Amino acid sequence: MRGSPLAQAILVVAALLLLLIPLHRLTQREQRPPELSVVSAAPKQVHLAVRTTAVPCRFQITFLGKTLWAEDAGMPELAKDFNIDFPKEGIDLVVDATWETKALAAMEITLSLPDGTTIHKTLWGQGTADDVLTFKEE
């Protein structure tokens, strides 16, 4: 190669700098916000049964911040059907119960799915009880 070594070094550095532009574009990650994919489960017809050891009993069952079922129960057993989005992760129901008796009382909530799966949860309290119950297919 002919010419000054300084000129050759400048040409090599310039060529390398020009190669940095496409190399930077190829290796740079795009700054996109992460995509949130929400897969909604199809609503399922679920059967809720409530059984209490003490009557009268006043209870409220809340699902996703909305009252699903509120009742002043004069009978120890009640049941209702609901259409609920039931994903594989399960659902959380907020249950608030009040009994007139101050003795220890219990409320059993049974959730039955169309495929025959039955899930039981129990809530205990003296006069009142409230909790978040998670119903999940296993």
Distances (CA, A) of 46 to 22, 68, 79, 87, 95: 58, 12, 11, 12, 17
Quote the CA–CA distance of 76 and 50 in Å, as a whole number. 8
- List the chain pLDDT tens, one digit each, 138 residues: 577 888 888 888 888 888 888 888 888 877 666 665 555 556 778 999 999 999 999 999 999 999 999 999 889 999 999 998 888 888 999 999 999 998 999 999 999 988 888 999 999 999 999 999 999 987
Q: What share of the chain is helix, strand, coil (3-state, %, to 5)?
A: 15, 50, 35
> Scanning the structure block, which residue is given the tokens 């205990």?
124
Delineate the domains of the chain, giving CATH numbers in brackets: 43-135 (2.60.40)
Q: What's the pLDDT at 17?
A: 84
Q: Are 88 and 137 in contact (CB under 8 A)?
A: yes
pTM of the model: 0.67
